[in-house]
Structure 1
């Protein structure tokens, strides 16, 4: 017999998910924090005289270039995302298939998707869409993980 409080909890059932994926502020903050910590460590290594100043400037320049590249890549992870229970994905007007779900937790999902001749990692943060869509996508990914691990 189900407890009375379990009937009050929100439940999610889904055979497919269709939502608009937006750039995540959480991933932007994580990238900014990570790269600023590395820049501070480079600066302190110069103060400690373990690295000369020209090498620190070159490393900071490469770090800034890499951060901008990842920032542009993060903004390209948007558009309409349709995922079915069979693992078929329709994203940015292209057909993909979920190869595996690398990370699935309450903050983000990391999906390895593929199509003939192309493979990508798709990061879906919980703030990139509404809560109902994220829960449905998480449920589909959980089912896909259980289905692929039983084979």
Structure 2
């Protein structure tokens, strides 16, 4: 029987996930189109809400763009992102296509990792680390 070794960290190079970017954009733009297909009496109000949605889409797009770059997640819940230390507070969502982590870091509170936004082997290693319970979030911090 061969011994099994596990690393105490995962190195990720986060890139823009085309599928996540497309889903985000389509959801906002379909909501804007839905608002613009209203009776003419409500058009001024619809334009106001549509403009607010477009600004919100732009804000969330820039937030997501800022999540690119090198990331190292340690099994004790520490992270190194852009050579700055942080902590994983909680693992919010783990699916086949997406991992969402709640973190404390000066850049963000949420870290969204799409499977097509990093190397496939790195993404599998991250999911395995979470699945096996090797990634231990900081339990002493107040969860958002």
Give yes or no for the alignment of 1:94 onto 2:87: no
Which structure has the highest helix share of the two?
1
RMSD of aligned C-alpha atoms? 2.5
Greater C-alpha Rg: 1
Q: How does 1:18-97 map to 2 (within 5 A)?
A: 18-44=11-37, 46-47=38-39, 52-97=42-87
- Kept in 1, the 8 Å contact 2:76–2:135? The answer is no
TM-score by length of 1: 0.78
Task: Judge which range, 138-147 or 80-89, deviates more.
Answer: 138-147
Question: Unaligned regions of 5+ residues in structure 2, if any?
Answer: 138-144
Name the structure 2 match of 1:120.
109
- In 1: Cα distance, 2:107 partner to 2:51 partner: 30
- In 2: Cα distance, 1:127 partner to 1:134 partner: 9
Give yes or no for the alignment of 1:131 onto 2:124: no
- Kept in 2, the 8 Å contact 1:13–1:136? The answer is no
Deviation at 1:111, TM superposition (A): 0.3
